[in-house]
């Protein structure tokens, strides 16, 4: 019988479960797809956010540009500020419409500040799959415009000094102060009488406005108008590298109501005789001729009135009036001799030889030591600039705009060959309100000081423009007098005038470094050979080595940091007609001096305000 095989007890191999394998693979695919979707979404979100952030920067730059462009019209021209801001925003791609809103408004608390906000939609790309088609972007900017620092006068007249006349000096000269009656009548009085007998006299401000001829010597104190320089402590002779034919600009403010008038006292040059340590009249004098020039020679001062149209850009200034050749000051009036009258205004010999003075020539005698009204008609409300120069510069036609006279000078003209200084005063009136006239950024002043201490208005630094800033004062050739001289800067904080603490450096026109100091309250600008008979202010150095002027042909730079609390305790000491007016105080042994002044607030005039 055949053998029977043992049964196979091994279990059969299980058959694969095909459905579960397919399910696992499907889950992996779904998870992978989900992760990839999330990654793509994240990448898309990152890309869209990057695009959004780059557009936000563009929006911010657009708001900054709009605020800076428009703020220069403030505080007086709000609509022009807004229109300009909108136009600048449009140039950068942001115009109010369906998806964009641009707003520009004068700040409620600071009329010199313009606030601009741009709101726009930034499109998306990848996140649109999530239903987000755009993201709103809003950015704001604030800009502030601080006008050039007003200098020299808080009143409606500028540069009125003591009128020295023959035997009848006003009290401000004899008393040695800068606040007495000047001997100059108000322009509105119509009087041609000068000296102590003059009616409606203006109070002296202690100095006259000054401008030197193109052929003069910058060493004598005018940093910009003379084209030549004879040297001094700081370098040898040569041309004046700082020569500026556009001269000086004086800001004229006409308030609401208009009807503004501008007057110039003694606009014409007439070399005056000596009277004590200075000159009679307003102090016109020959200063010496350089470069082959000879004196006397024709001298001309030009007066150009500009409407500044609310902006600091001279290119859009409109010429209102120019005196042209009105004050061309020739000799002998084509050979006809006249009697020289300049000696009637002081003692001593006049600078002109008798019979050849233009002081009494028609039409010169109409303007000598008299007020001349700028024939520009009644000026409307606004801000104007009276340009005073001895260089005949290229001008646009009256009524058209130009760069304030530019820097192009006629090749041959009066004042080129003469070394002389013309001194003058300005006054502004209006139908209503309080008009003002002051030096705009820089000025030249002539002082004829008696022995002792005199203080003059230097510049106005209000709380808004000054808080936390630094005042920078540049004085050219200060204290060039005899008998010793000491200079202080008086701070009006706390409603009282007190010497400010400052630091200073100096350099000559040739670049040579001069005296410097830190945290001082006084500078000895002229060192006498011995102690003076008058009292030197407390805190001032006393060096009596006879070395004389320390800043002959030097720029003296003074810096004064102001705290964040500047003005909190008030800025209007008793007697000051307006708040924020600093003073410069000289204590001298006597003499006369021309100095060029510049005052700036570092960080101004146009800047963004950080939040």
Across the chain, which has 611 residues, the per-10-residue mean pLDDT values are 57 57 63 68 68 83 93 81 93 89 89 91 74 85 86 96 72 64 92 86 93 92 92 68 92 95 94 78 83 72 91 83 84 50 67 65 77 95 94 91 74 83 96 94 88 89 87 92 91 97 94 94 95 92 94 95 95 94 91 91 78 72
CA 144/CA 606 separation, integer angstroms: 6
* Structure-token pair, residue 345: 């205004």
Q: Are 342 and 358 in contact (CB under 8 A)?
A: no
Strands 548-549 and 401-402: unpaired
Please report, to the nearest 10 degrees, the dihedral formed by the alpha carbons of residues 202, 424, 247, 260 taken in order.
50
Residue 410's pLDDT is 79
CB atoms within 10 A of CB 207: 32
Token duo for residue 478: 């200060």
* C-alpha closest to that of 272 among 448, 413, 390, 391: 448
In sequence order, which residues have a C-beta less than 8 Å from that of residue 358 and are 6 or more positions away? 268, 269, 270, 329, 330, 331, 333, 352, 364
Structure letter (DSSP) for residue 11: P
Helix (H, G, I), strand (E, B) or coil at 412: coil
Output the six-digit token pair for 80: 């022009």
Contact 452, 178 (CB under 8 A): no
CB 299 within 8 A of CB 420: yes
CA distance 375 to 489: 38
pLDDT at 286: 85
- CA separation, residue 367 to residues 265, 326, 327 (Å): 8, 10, 9
Q: Is 206 left (phi over 0), alpha (psi -120 to 50) or beta?
A: left
Predicted confidence at residue 333, as pLDDT, reads 44
CB atoms within 10 A of CB 34: 10
Question: Encoding tokens for residue 55?
Answer: 């557009």
């Amino acid at each position: 019988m055949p053998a029977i095989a043992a049964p196979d007890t091994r279990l059969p191999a299980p058959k694969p479960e095909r459905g579960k394998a397919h399910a696992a693979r499907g889950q992996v695919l779904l998870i992978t797809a989900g992760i990839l979707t999330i990654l793509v979404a994240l990448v898309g979100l990152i890309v869209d956010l990057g695009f959004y952030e780059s557009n936000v920067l563009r929006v911010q730059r657009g708001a900054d540009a709009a605020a800076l462009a428009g703020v220069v019209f403030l505080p007086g021209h709000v609509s022009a500020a807004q229109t300009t801001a909108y136009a600048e925003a449009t140039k950068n791609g942001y115009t109010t419409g369906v998806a964009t809103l641009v707003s520009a408004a004068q700040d409620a608390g600071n009329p010199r500040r313009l606030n601009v906000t741009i709101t726009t939609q930034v499109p998306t790309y990848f996140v649109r799959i999530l239903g987000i088609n755009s993201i709103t972007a809003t950015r704001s900017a604030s800009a502030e415009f601080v006008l050039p620092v007003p200098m020299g006068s808080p009143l409606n007249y500028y540069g009125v000094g003591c009128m020295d006349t023959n035997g009848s000096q006003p009290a401000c000269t004899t008393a040695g102060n800068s606040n007495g009656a000047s001997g100059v009548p108000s322009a509105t009085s119509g009087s041609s009488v000068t000296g102590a007998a003059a009616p409606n006299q203006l109070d002296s401000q202690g100095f006259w406005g000054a401008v030197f001829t193109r052929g003069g010597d910058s060493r004598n104190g005018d940093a910009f108008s003379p084209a030549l320089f004879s040297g001094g402590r700081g370098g040898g002779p040569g041309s004046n590298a700082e020569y500026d034919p556009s001269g000086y600009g004086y800001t004229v403010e006409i308030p609401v109501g208009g009807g503004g008038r501008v007057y110039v006292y003694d606009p014409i040059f007439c070399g005056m005789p000596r009277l004590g340590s200075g000159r009679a009249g307003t102090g016109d004098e020959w200063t010496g001729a350089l470069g082959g020039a000879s004196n006397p020679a024709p001298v001309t001062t030009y007066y150009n009135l500009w409407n500044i149209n609310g902006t600091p850009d001279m290119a859009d200034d409109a010429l209102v009036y120019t005196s042209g050749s009105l004050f061309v000051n020739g000799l002998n009036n084509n050979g006809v001799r006249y009697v020289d009258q300049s000696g009637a205004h002081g003692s001593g010999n006049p600078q002109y030889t008798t019979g050849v003075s233009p002081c009494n020539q028609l039409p010169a005698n109409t303007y000598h030591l008299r007020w001349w009204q700028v024939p520009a008609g009644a000026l409307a409300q606004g801000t104007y600039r009276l340009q005073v120069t001895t260089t005949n510069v290229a001008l646009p036609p009256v009524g058209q705009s130009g760069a304030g006279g530019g820097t192009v000078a006629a090749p041959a003209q009066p004042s080129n060959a003469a070394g002389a200084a013309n001194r003058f005063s300005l006054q502004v009136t209006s139908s209503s309100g309080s008009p003002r006239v002051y030096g705009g950024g820089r000025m030249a002043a002539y002082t004829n000081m008696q022995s002792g201490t005199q203080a003059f208005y230097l510049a106005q630094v209000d709380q808004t423009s000054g808080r936390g800033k630094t005042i920078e004062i540049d004085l050219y050739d200060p204290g060039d007098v005899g008998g010793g001289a000491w200079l202080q800067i008086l701070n009006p904080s706390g409603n009282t005038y007190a010497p400010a603490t400052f630091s200073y450096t100096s350099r000559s026109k040739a670049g040579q470094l001069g005296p410097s100091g830190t945290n001082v309250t006084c500078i000895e600008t002229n060192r006498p050979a011995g102690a003076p008979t008058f009292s030197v202010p407390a805190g001032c150095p006393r060096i009596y080595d006879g070395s004389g002027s320390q800043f002959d042909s030097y720029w003296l730079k003074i810096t004064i940091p102001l705290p964040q609390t500047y003005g909190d305790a008030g800025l209007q000491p008793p007697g000051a007609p307006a708040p924020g007016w600093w003073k410069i105080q000289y204590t001298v042994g006597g003499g006369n001096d021309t100095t060029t002044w510049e005052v700036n607030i570092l960080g101004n005039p146009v800047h963004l305000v950080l939040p």
